[in-house]
A and B are shown apart, each in its own frame.
Chain A
């Protein structure tokens, strides 16, 4: 039996959320939902796991802290310690108060840019990428649910979607890329 992809279009997020919950409780797997703005509660309604991107940011931040520490220790203490204004650079421990600002900036720099790069690559938002939404109306005011199902279930599913308030149901062969 072959699989078919159904595109169900809603014109409001309230029936969309309700419909997503009904479908999930009936065991239908929702492949994706395209919305013009972040709809709160949609993640759990379609069973999305929580994103790890904040944890990545933390790791990048720690990396930034370490890099800055290493850099300043090497340059100021190890490689060429200079006596500036009668304040010699003997040890990292003695100099650390003066190093705090740059350590902080470097932490923020690495965390922010690392996380942004991860976000853009993970969502494959790169210059020249093709628009990922199958229907251009979904960035304006329409909400689209993408469901993959066996061809025999299609009639049943479409009836359910219509009952829940889908204003349009169609299927095409749009290539998805997450």
Chain B
């Protein structure tokens, strides 16, 4: 048994046995859904359906129904794409990077964070698929032999790298998530009473039995998948940033983009994890597993990544001045003082200033405050992508092409729809899937459980 310092805060509170953990995790699945759950699901589904309507309208009529125009040809579509894909990054960071660093606190949050990743990448994919204009021809993005003399896709283009990066990221995250779920599905299967539930969980658990041989392979698979996902997650947002950075548009053509995007992605992702978990722990009474300490750890990551993002913003400003390039300088002056100055101000306040309050311990352990902050950060990070895209494109080299961008109801509808879809899927996930990796949690109860830690303390004295 790995001994842990008694100074470390316990990660599992209360008197918990192995059986008690199973009971606590299964309760939301075996019990009846609450009224709040149905209300939230209805709301989310309505948004989702509205989004599907706007999506169908876009496909039927063409992307002329969006606010994008000749000058500003990327707008909400790419803003939302980058925002969603960035949110996804926290899930992989928690499950892969924290696994490699042997951070035990990840175990209470990795399952739901990974679910968030998968749903967020699905939302992101909608925008990529749609923004091509003719989504029925999207198979052209793949290197398939074709009737045009086999005219292949352009492998020199970051847009194609993105196709490969995002599809790899989605499928690998899905496999990583599902593999972790299998032993937990088996636990639910073995205690299910209702025949239909038993049948479904038997199917989902695919015959898992927990044999020593299988556990040893399982652990190896988790470790190697974590090792593969770690560089993968950094590559995905680096490549997303190269969609901008390899262009010659002033304000986009900067080498700082890859690290700056990755830090921003983790920043916004953790904010979204906090938004979801703070509700989930309350609704499903998981306060003993997702403790204030977990929230505090995540808030610390918010300070770190928020500060990296802040430094990146300031570096960008400095370099544009230092470069002496007039166009580059104008791009940044325009962002801060041009027609979209309010977006820039929102971005700076939400992302750079506000997370700094988490240096105060009282605030970063205050749950209500954290919840509000997590939403502020999400808004700030949405504005960051908006600021990079729209104000830059509305004032490029040729003043005669300068024009403003106004979103239409379809732009707003599709974005609302993806938020609805995200929450619909997440609510269904919390109802039918084990929201905490209970098998992993059982393996740390003796080193990090409150009861065992107290016992060890008494022994020592």
Contacts and interface: CB of A to CB of B under 8 A. Distances in A.
The finding on whether chains A and B are genuine partners in a shared complex, rather than unrelated, reads yes
Interface of A: 14, 32-40, 42-43, 46, 48, 50-51, 53-54, 57, 61, 71-72, 75-76, 79-80, 82, 84, 87, 89, 95, 98-99, 101-102, 104-106, 108-109, 111-113, 115-116, 119-120, 122-133, 136-141, 178
Contacts of B216: 38, 43, 48, 50-51
Given A105-B168, A127-B206, A46 B212 contact: yes
Contact of B213 (A48, A111, A129): A48
A132 B155 contact: no
Given A76-B152, A105-B164, A125-B214, 20 more contacts: A36-B210, A37-B183, A37-B210, A39-B215, A39-B443, A46-B212, A51-B217, A53-B224, A71-B143, A95-B155, A101-B161, A101-B239, A105-B165, A108-B232, A109-B168, A119-B179, A119-B218, A137-B190, A140-B18, A141-B19
A108 B182 CA distance: 22
B4 interface: no
Contacts of A72: 155
Contacts of B110: none
Contact of B217 (A95, A99, A123): A123
A34 to B, nearest CB: 5
A121 to B, nearest CB: 11
The residue among B18, B229, B231 with the most chain A CB atoms within 10 A of its own CB is B18
4 closest Cβ pairs, A-B complex: A129-B207, A132-B209, A141-B18, A133-B209
Given A101-B235, A102-B155, A36 B18 contact: yes
Contacts of B418: none
Contact of B231 (A108, A115, A133): A108
B220 A36 contact: no
11 contacts: A80-B150, A84-B157, A98-B155, A109-B164, A112-B175, A112-B228, A119-B218, A130-B207, A131-B190, A139-B208, A178-B213
B281 interface: no
Interface in B149-170: 149-158, 160-161, 164-165, 168
The residue among B186, B191, B207 with the most chain A CB atoms within 10 A of its own CB is B207
Nearest to A32: B211
Contacts of A133: 186, 190, 209-211
